[in-house]
Structure 1
Amino acid sequence: MQHRKTSRPNVKIAVISDTHLRVPDQRLTEVFNSHLADTDLLIHCGDLATFSVWQFFCQHRNFHAALGNCDEWQLSTHLKTLQTVNLHGLRIAVAHGWGSRSEVSRNVAQSFGPDFDLICYGHTHIQDWSIVSGVQMLNPGSLTSPRDDKPACVAIVDVDDEHNMECSFIPVD
């Protein structure tokens, strides 16, 4: 009798940050429908800005977000500064970030520690896919106002059944 190894299906994670919108607009709806709606997990790394934008993203079946420094006060009753998510055994941490641009990834990594497979953060509006203290870090940049001479984008992380990750930055301009 042969035994087949069973594994969980590959996982697709969309990560965005720093939308800074007062209300959901047509462009956000198009980005959601084209790049976010069909993912297994949608992460927002803070600075959604308003309650109505948060409500818009809540239509995703598996949406998680961290509170950012520019989010209105109503969001503080729904979001935490530091969030954790477990998806099929993949340990994910989410924060907006704080400090100077050169210190943000280190600050966030130190806050969560080494027990995560992926730490997602924002705040700098600059894309980053790097390893800090042995942990994979991801900053998708800003969905509306990037600061690194790159287009606004969505980060898509494809994860295989052994938790190997590949990240693609998908331009949305």
Structure 2
Amino acid sequence: MKIVIVSDTHMPRKERGLPEPLRNDLMDSDLIIHGGDFQTFDVYEEFKKYGELIAVVGNVDRVELKSMLPKRRIIEKKGLKIGIVHGDGKGKTTEKRALEAFEDEDVDIIIFGHSHIPFSRFMKGILLFNPGSPTDKRKLPYYSHGILTIKKTWKIEHIFYQ
């Protein structure tokens, strides 16, 4: 199973279309997880054209997305429990806010966004993963998204591009 992980697309403000490396991965994915900040409903709909989309709302998403998407959710794929949250809020780091969003839950991975900074680290026995942004790298050298592959075991990685 190939899961594309993306967050912080901020379209159309930052970009007019999805970058080619992301589109290529979306075309052969089994599932898409978006960690929020599509910005508009049209961008949400664009992701749905590529396949099954599971998403949470981000802090800059428009009102129609805020009314239909949860702030956090847990899904299970092939025995792997995945928590998804945008990670915005006051105080603490984005990583700590993401971890706290699931502190009373039994999850294996927490996918989050908000900071636009690619992140992959175990904290308290849970892998925290931020895919970065495919359209708004800020001061970082590369744009990015993530791929979670689940077979007999699982692996997660960042895909970087210019």
- TM over 0.5, yes or no? yes
For the 8 Å contact 1:105–1:132, the answer to whether it is kept is no
Residue of structure 1 aligned with 2:62, choices 51, 66, 72: 72
CA distance in 2, matches of 1:82, 1:96: 7
Corresponding residue for residue 52 of structure 1: 42
The unaligned stretches of length 5 or more in structure 2 are: none
* 2:155 maps to amino acid: E
| Structure (1 or 2) with the larger CA radius of gyration | 1
For the 8 Å contact 2:7–2:36, the answer to whether it is kept is yes
Q: Secondary structure at the match of 1:122?
A: coil
CA distance in 2, matches of 1:133, 1:100: 22
Q: CA deviation at 1:147?
A: 3.4
The unaligned stretches of length 5 or more in structure 1 are: 1-10
Deviations 1:15-43 (A, max 9, x none): 111000028844x1634531112112211
Q: 4+ residue stretches of structure 1 with deviation over 3 A? A: 23-26, 29-33, 99-102
Q: Secondary structure at the match of 2:129?
A: strand
**Cα gap change, 1:150 to 1:159, in 2 (>3 Å):** farther
CA distance in 2, matches of 1:111, 1:158: 24
Q: TM-score, normalized by length of structure 2? A: 0.88
Corresponding residue for residue 169 of structure 1: 158
C-alpha RMSD over aligned residues: 2.1
Residue of structure 2 aligned with 1:116, choices 107, 116, 125: 107
For the 8 Å contact 1:101–1:124, the answer to whether it is kept is no
Residue of structure 1 aligned with 2:73, choices 76, 83, 98: 83
Q: Provide the aligned length of Structure 1 versus Structure 2.
A: 160
Q: TM-score, normalized by length of structure 1? A: 0.82
- Identical positions, percent: 31
